[in-house]
A and B are shown apart, each in its own frame.
Chain A
Amino acid sequence: MLTFTIRRLFFSIPTLLFISIVIFGLLQMAPGDPMAQVPLTVPPEVKQKMREALGLGAPVHIQYLKWLNQFFIVEPQFLIDWMTRSSFLFGWLPDTQLGMVYDVELEKLVPQQRNISWQTRSPIMDIVIQRIPQTLWVVGLAYLVGILISLPIGVYSAYRHYSIFDQTGTFITMVGFSIPPFFTGPLLIVIFSVTLGWLPSIYDTTHVVKDWASFKYQLSQMILPVMVLALQTTAQISRYMRASMLDNLNQDYVRTARAKGLKEGVVVMVHVLRNSMIPVITVIALGVPSIFGGAIITENVFGVNGIGQLLITALFANDIPMVMTITFIFAIMIVAFNLVADVLYGVLDPRIRYD
Chain B
Amino acid sequence: MTDTSTNTGEMDPYAALQDKEPPKAPRNQWLDVWDQFKKHKGAVLGGGFLMFITLAVLLGPYIWNVDPQKLDIRNKDVRPIWTAIWDSSAKTLWHRPFGTDNLGRDILANMIAGGRASMAVGWTAMLLSLSIGTAIGVAAGYFKRLDGLLMRMTDLFLCLPILPLLLVAVTLFRQPLRANFGPEGGMFILIVVIVGLTSWMQTARIVRGEILALKEREFILAARSIGTSSGAIIRRHLLPNVVSPIMVSATLGLAVAIITESALSFLGVGFPSDFPTWGKMLADAVPRMEQYPERVLLPGIAISLTVLGVNYLGDGLRDALDPRIRGR
Contacts and interface: CB of A to CB of B under 8 A. Distances in A.
Given A26-B164, A171-B308, A349-B213, A186 B248 contact: no
B32 interface: no
Contacts of A260: none
A338 B151 contact: yes
B152 A15 contact: yes
A31 B300 contact: no
Nearest to B158: A334
Interface stretch (B91-99, B104-112, B202-210): B202-210
Nearest to A330: B159
Given A177-B252, A177-B307, A236-B252, A331 B205 contact: no
Interface string B122-166: 000000000000000000000000001001101110111101110
Contacts of A281: 209
Contacts, number: 166
B159 A19 contact: yes
Chain A at the B interface: SS class: helix
Given A250-B324, A323-B164, A341 B205 contact: yes
Contact of A244 (B156, B171, B245, B300): B245
A31 B255 CA distance: 29
B290 interface: yes
Give the one of B245, B303, B308 with max A CB within 10 A: B245
Contacts of B318: 243, 246
A180 interface: yes
Interface in A296-355: 311-312, 315, 323, 327-328, 330-331, 334-335, 338, 341, 345, 349, 351-353
Interface residues of A, number: 60
A135 to B, nearest CB: 17
A26 B160 contact: yes
A240 B248 contact: yes
B53 interface: no
Contacts of A352: 212-213, 216
Give the one of A11, A174, A175, A286 with max B CB within 10 A: A174
Nearest to B216: A351
A236 B203 CA distance: 12
Give the one of A30, A182, A334 with max B CB within 10 A: A30
Given A171-B308, A236-B252, A250-B322, A27 B164 contact: yes
A278 interface: yes
Nearest to A346: B212
Interface stretch (B1-9, B13-21, B281-289): B281-289
A31 B167 contact: yes
A353 B156 CA distance: 24
Pairs A-B, 5 closest by C-beta atoms: A30-B164, A331-B159, A351-B216, A178-B307, A243-B244
